[in-house]
C-alpha cells in the first residue's frame, strides 16, 4: 500500500535561496518545521531523484518533490489546548485563533489544531456536516493569520452560517500591515485559483480562477508600509495575501507571497510569527435568535508592536 497521500512540488524562489530546506518547505506547505524534518528523515523529500538532508541550503532553480502522508480520521483526538473564547452559547463558539495554529488536521499536521482544542472544550457538541476531521468548522483562516473564527455547535447553526458565507452577508474584516504606501482605498476583483506550478500556492488566474473580491482601506501610513483595513466579499484560500501581492503590496511577514524578508523583518525577527494579518471583526445573523451579532478582537501584541515601531522609524 502507498503510505503517501499526495505529492507536492516546491520550487525555489528568489526569497528562498540560501535558506535551510526545512524552513522553506515548512512555509511553502503550511506544516510545522518538525513535520517537515520528519519527512526529510524518512526520505519523503527528493531533489533530482535524490533524498534531501535537513541541513541543505536552497539554491536557485531547485525543485523538491514532497510526498505527504494521509490524514486518518481516527487520528483526530481532543487535546487540552487553551482557547481564547470570545463568545459561546448553545449554537456557536467564537474563537480568537492565535498565529501558528492550524484550524483542522491536514497532511503533515495532525495535532495541535483548533479542532483538537475544540473537541476537548466542547466534547461532542460540534456540528458533523464536515465530518470528524473538521467538526464545527464553517470557515477557516490561515495557520499564521490570527483572529476570529465562528464555529457551529450543531448542524442547524452550521447550515445557517454556511448560507451567510455563501450569499456574502457575513461580514469579515481584517487588519493588515502592507508593504509600500497606499494613499487611497479600492477594490480588487480578480479571480483566484491554484498556482500552475506550485500546488500549495494560490494565484490570480484570469482563466480558470474563481471570482474573488477584496475591499481595502488605508487606516494610517507607517514608514515604508501602510496599516489597512481589509474586507472580504468572497472567501477564497489566501485571498487577501494573493490579492495584495497582485497589486504590489504584499502583507508584511508573508514569505509565500512576497512579503517576507523585508528590511524591517530582518531587523526585528523576534516579532514575526507569520504574516501581519489579523481577522479582527466578524458579524452575522445569529442562527437561532435571528439578531445580528458582531464580535471584535484586537490584534496580537507583536502585530501592535510592529506597527508602533514602524511609526517611529
Question: What DSSP letter does each residue of 92-130 carry, written as one string?
Answer: EEEEEEPTT--SS-BTTB-SS-HHHHHHHHHTT-S--TT
Quickly state the pLDDT bin for 109 (edges 50, 70, 90). low
Pairing of strands 85-88, 171-179: unpaired
H or E stretch covering 50: strand 50-51
Say if residue 73's pLDDT is above 50. Answer: no
State how far the Cα of 244 lies from the Cα of 218, in Å rounded to an integer: 13
Q: Which domains does the chain have, with CATH numbers?
A: 6-68 (3.10.290.10), 73-166 (3.30.2350.10), 171-312 (3.30.2350.10)
Provide the 8-state DSSP code for 209: P
CB 214 within 8 A of CB 207: no
142 is catalytic: yes
State how far the Cα of 95 lies from the Cα of 194, in Å rounded to an integer: 28
Choose, from 22, 91, 142, 144, the residue flagged as catalytic.
142
CB atoms within 10 A of CB 80: 8
CB atoms within 10 A of CB 252: 28
Residues 83-96 pLDDT 10s: 999 999 999 999 99
Residues 146-190 pLDDT 10s: 999 999 999 899 999 999 998 899 999 999 999 999 999 999 999
Strand order in the sheet with 6-11: 6-11, 63-68, 45-47, 50-51
What is this structure's pTM? 0.76
Residues 17-36 pLDDT 10s: 999 998 888 888 767 677 78
Q: All 3 cell numbers of residue 245?
A: 501581492
Amino acid at each position: 500500500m502507498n503510505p503517501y497521500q499526495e505529492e507536492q512540488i516546491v520550487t525555489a524562489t528568489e526569497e528562498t535561496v540560501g535558506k535551510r530546506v526545512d524552513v522553506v518547505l515548512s512555509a511553502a506547505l503550511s506544516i510545522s518545521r518538525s513535520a517537515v524534518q520528519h519527512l526529510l528523515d524518512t526520505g519523503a523529500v527528493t531533489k533530482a531523484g535524490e533524498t534531501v538532508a535537513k541541513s541543505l541550503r536552497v539554491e536557485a532553480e531547485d525543485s523538491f518533490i514532497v510526498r505527504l502522508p494521509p490524514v486518518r480520521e481516527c487520528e483526530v483526538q481532543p487535546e487540552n489546548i487553551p482557547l481564547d473564547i470570545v463568545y459561546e452559547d448553545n449554537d456557536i463558539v467564537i474563537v480568537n485563533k492565535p498565529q501558528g495554529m492550524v484550524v483542522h488536521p491536514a497532511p503533515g499536521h495532525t495535532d495541535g489544531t483548533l479542532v483538537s482544542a475544540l473537541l476537548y472544550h466542547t466534547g461532542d457538541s460540534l456540528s458533523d456536516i464536515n465530518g470528524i476531521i473538521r467538526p464545527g468548522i464553517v470557515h477557516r483562516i490561515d495557520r499564521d493569520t490570527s483572529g476570529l473564527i465562528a464555529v457551529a455547535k450543531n448542524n442547524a447553526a452550521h447550515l445557517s452560517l454556511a448560507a451567510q458565507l455563501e450569499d456574502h452577508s457575513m461580514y469579515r474584516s481584517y487588519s493588515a500591515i502592507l508593504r509600500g504606501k497606499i494613499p487611497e482605498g479600492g477594490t480588487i476583483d480578480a479571480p483566484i485559483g491554484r498556482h500552475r506550478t506550485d500546488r500549495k500556492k494560490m494565484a490570480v488566474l484570469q482563466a480558470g480562477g474563481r471570482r474573488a473580491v477584496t475591499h481595502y482601506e488605508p487606516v494610517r501610513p507607517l514608514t515604508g508600509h501602510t496599516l489597512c483595513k481589509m474586507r472580504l466579499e468572497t472567501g477564497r484560500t489566501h485571498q487577501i495575501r494573493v490579492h495584495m501581492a497582485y497589486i504590489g503590496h504584499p502583507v508584511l511577514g508573508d514569505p509565500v507571497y512576497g512579503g517576507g524578508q523585508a528590511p524591517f523583518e530582518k531587523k526585528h525577527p523576534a516579532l514575526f510569527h507569520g504574516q501581519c494579518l489579523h481577522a479582527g471583526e466578524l458579524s452575522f445573523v445569529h442562527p437561532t435568535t435571528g439578531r445580528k451579532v458582531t464580535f471584535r478582537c484586537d490584534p496580537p501584541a507583536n502585530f501592535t508592536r510592529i506597527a508602533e515601531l514602524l511609526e517611529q522609524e
